[in-house]
Amino acid sequence: MSLEERHRRRLLARGLALLSLIGLLAGLLIGSEGASLSALRALFDDGSAGLVLGQIRLPRTLGAWLTGALFGLAGAIAQGLFRNPLADPYLLGSAAGASLGVVLVLTAGSVVLGGGAAGWLARFGLVGAAFCGALLGVSLTLMLARGATHTTRLLLAGVVVGVVLGAFNDLLTTLDPDALRGKQAFLLGTTGFLGWPSCLLLLLALLAALPLAWRLARVLDALSLGEDSATSLGLSLPRLRLVMVALMALATGTAVAQAGMVAFVGLVAPHLVRRFVQATHGYCLVASAAMGGVLLMGADVLSRWLIAPQELPVGVLTAVLGGSYLLWLLQRRRMG
């Protein structure tokens, strides 16, 4: 590694750490009524102001960072696994599966159990339903592709599963139009319901997925040389690829279950990392996780501040910013 590349890596790490601290501070200062410097003093207050910061703003901001980190990690795994810079964490049916799980819970609550039970089920069952639905979508993809032996077959199976589960999703929404409201909130993405329990679950998922993905990063490095070259190195590609798919499903399912369908974070975060450094996948996985955390934390803060006291869905903001970045990148490459 050259001295210049080492310097760029250190610079990126320091920049991400600094932006994370700035985002955390901004998340504490900005609430439903805009920014307020007096909010910091409320951290040491036992009254309602301290309760708002300690139980609402702080876990929400940290939860947004952890959710973005999981999306960034899953995106980096997907792009390395499929050797495609346009791959995102939702390719293997996790998005359609999570959405179907949410609609199933909403429909069961309103049609089968009645209004009161529907409210209870919607409150306590959506997170688990979204997580199980995401894992179900990935599992169906693996079954249809007969494992993770062939990348192209896996990708096509993910597309098929997404279309079929999406059709069931639309059918249930047609049978129960009331479920459309809850589904829409889930599809737009939100960090407004993140609390300390959510932060704990997100942290556990990140601690489980990131170290193992980092240890298996050599698989992605080998795949970048081609499958034949990776096989000649003695790697058991079907088994190792299956583990990487499982890690991607764990990261995506946990993030989607807690924050809904947040768009473009998993796609853009690895792109931004590669624009700053040219590194192996081991470094890119960790840096993409940090970049995803910074992106979603920043989007969360902006969603609270732009039209305060109202709030933008964070998924809408990430879609606008991420889509604008990709359009700018496309235009720049075309001109270059």
- How many Cα atoms occupy the beta-carbon half-sphere of 262 within 13 Å? 41
Query: Does residue 160 register a pLDDT over 50?
Result: yes
Give the CA distances from residue 113 to residues 106, 116, 180, in Å, rounded to whole numbers and listed in that order: 10, 8, 17
Query: Of 153-162, 178-187, 325-334, where does mean pLDDT reach its minimum?
Result: 178-187
Q: State which of 9-18, 103-112, 185-194, 311-320 shows the largest mean pLDDT.
A: 9-18
Specify the residue for token string 């975060």: 269
The pLDDT, as a whole number, for residue 214 is 93
Specify the residue for token string 């679950």: 201
Give the CA distances from residue 50 to residues 26, 47, 180, 269, 309, in Å, rounded to whole numbers and listed in that order: 16, 6, 36, 33, 19
Report whether 104 contacts 176 (CB < 8 A).
no
Mean pLDDT within 187-196: 86
User: Looking at per-residue confidence, does 36 or 199 come out higher?
Assistant: 199
Mean pLDDT within 125-141: 86
Report whether 64 contacts 296 (CB < 8 A).
yes
Q: Render pLDDT for 200-231 as a digit per residue (tens, 0 to 9).
A: 999 999 999 999 999 988 888 888 777 777 67
User: Which residues are CB-contacts of 250 (< 8 A; sequence separation ≥ 6)?
Assistant: 205, 208, 209
Q: Render pLDDT for 224-261 as a digit per residue (tens, 0 to 9).
A: 777 777 677 777 777 888 888 899 989 998 999 889 88
Q: How many CB atoms lie within 10 A of CB 225?
A: 12
CB-count exposure of residue 115 (10 Å: 0-12, 13-18, 19+): exposed
Mean pLDDT within 100-107: 82
Look up the pTM and report it.
Answer: 0.90
The pLDDT, as a whole number, for residue 270 is 93
User: Looking at per-residue confidence, does 90 or 225 come out higher?
Assistant: 90
Q: Would you place residue 115 in the very low, low, confident or very high pLDDT band (cuts 50, 70, 90)?
A: very low
Q: State which of 51-60, 108-117, 135-144 shows the largest mean pLDDT.
A: 135-144
Indicate the domain borders of the chain.
Answer: 3-334
Cα separation, 283 vs 9, whole angstroms: 9
The pLDDT, as a whole number, for residue 59 is 94
For the packed helices 58-82 and 3-29, what is the interaxial angle rounded to 10 degrees?
140
For 228-257, give one letter per residue: b (16+ CB within 10 A) or e.
eebeeeebebeebbbebbbbbbbbbbbbbb
Q: Which residues pair with 34 in a beta bridge?
A: 31
Report whether 289 contacts 70 (CB < 8 A).
yes
The pLDDT, as a whole number, for residue 288 is 95
User: In the structure encoding, which two tokens stand for residue 113, read together?
Assistant: 């159990």
Domain covering 3-334, topology: ABC transporter involved in vitamin B12 uptake, BtuC (1.10.3470)
Cα separation, 50 vs 105, whole angstroms: 35
Under the phi-then-psi rule, with left for phi > 0, alpha for psi from -120 to 50, and beta for the rest, what region is 234? left
Query: Of 71-75, 110-114, 166-170, where does mean pLDDT reach its minimum?
Result: 110-114
Report whether 242 contacts 148 (CB < 8 A).
yes
Mean pLDDT within 128-132: 85
Cα separation, 223 vs 142, whole angstroms: 19
Report whether 287 contacts 277 (CB < 8 A).
yes
